Structure 1
Amino acid sequence: MAENGYGSVIVVTSNYHMPRALAELERAMPGIVLVPYPVVDNNVEVARWWEFPGTTKLLLSEYLKYLPALGRLWATNLARVALPGTSVPPADEPEP
């Protein structure tokens, strides 16, 4: 994104997936403005999730994936503040 001069990106994904997607993208692309555009799946009953076992399982699964993503974002941001001037690559990129 930065190499091509983009300052923002529209993030389109399911509404229940948006928090994790934003955390992962913010970690991978610091300084890029993320504009969320959540999509609502009519087959997922988010408003009354506890009444639908499939939705409960889906949301619990997403939440359990969100927590580590949030931890990675927190740790990366902490490293960027604690070690200014150094490049902290995303976890999937090898260090030089």
Structure 2
Amino acid sequence: MTQPEQTSQTHHHKARAQLRRVLKLGVMGLLVVLACLQHFALTLPQPESLLPGRTDGLVVPTGGQARIQEGLRLLHSGAASRMLITGVGQDVSKQVLATELKLTADHLQTFTCCVDIDKVALDTKGNAKAALIWAEARQFSTLRLVTANYHLPRAHLEFSRLLPHHKVTGWPVTPPDLQARDWYWHWPTVRLLTREYAKYLFALIQS
């Protein structure tokens, strides 16, 4: 074998070895990501079966009717004196929201008297800022954050950061179409949890 052939073969072996290392690292990285997602999915907060202790206010970020309905249920049961629904959008009034929610008579009365809405917030950090303004205006010191269970870890992180002098307690709501236990077989849940976990990690890095 000539010297050029030996050199070419050596480069070829090195390239193959390097490719194997890259593939091995890629597989290991993928396994780590999948393991982290599995842990995130299996440790999502679970809804409580008993009514919670009383707080001054309830805060419900928009993102699903189940959150608002659960917040109204808690408010109607006496778990707080008022509730803030944050991030409803500039064109949404209380009347429009009440119509969309198709509230029962009891819940409609509670909604009319004891619910405030925020039209400014566009994201979770904005929800926390709106909650801070609302809590200070109402002189509330304890809040219960009512949101989807997959959203609660990040939301609680953002709220705790922006409301350090308020006690914020989470109250998870499980969306009916969330397949957290077998998330890897359900593509919409895979997308949702992957996106939310990435946002949570980013928020964690910023804290």
Corresponding residue for residue 32 of structure 1: 166
Shift of 1:5: 2.6
Within the candidate set 178, 181, 185, 1:51 is matched to 185
- Is 2:157 aligned against 1:23? yes
Within the candidate set 53, 61, 65, 2:199 is matched to 65
- Is 2:5 aligned against 1:5? no
Shift of 1:3: 5.3
**Which residues of structure 1 form unaligned runs of 5+?**
74-96
Corresponding residue for residue 91 of structure 2: none
For residues 34-69 of structure 1, give each alpha carbon's deviation from its aligned partner in whole angstroms, at most 9, with x where no partner exists: 111111111111111111111011000000001111
**4+ long deviations beyond 2 Å:** 1-5
Query: RMSD of aligned C-alpha atoms?
Result: 1.3
Structure 1 CA distance, aligned partners of 2:137 and 2:162? 13
Structure 1 CA distance, aligned partners of 2:167 and 2:201? 22
The structure whose RCO (Cα within 8 Å, separation 6+) is larger is 1
Name the SS of the counterpart of 2:178 in structure 1.
coil
Q: Give TM-score, length-normalised by structure 2.
A: 0.34
Would you tell me which structure has more helix in proportion to its own residues? 2
Within the candidate set 14, 24, 38, 2:148 is matched to 14
Instruction: Give the share of equivalent positions with the same residue, in percent.
Output: 33
Give the structure with higher Rg (CA): 2
Structure 2 CA distance, aligned partners of 1:7 and 1:21? 18
Name the SS of the counterpart of 1:22 in structure 2.
helix
**Which residues of structure 2 form unaligned runs of 5+?**
1-134
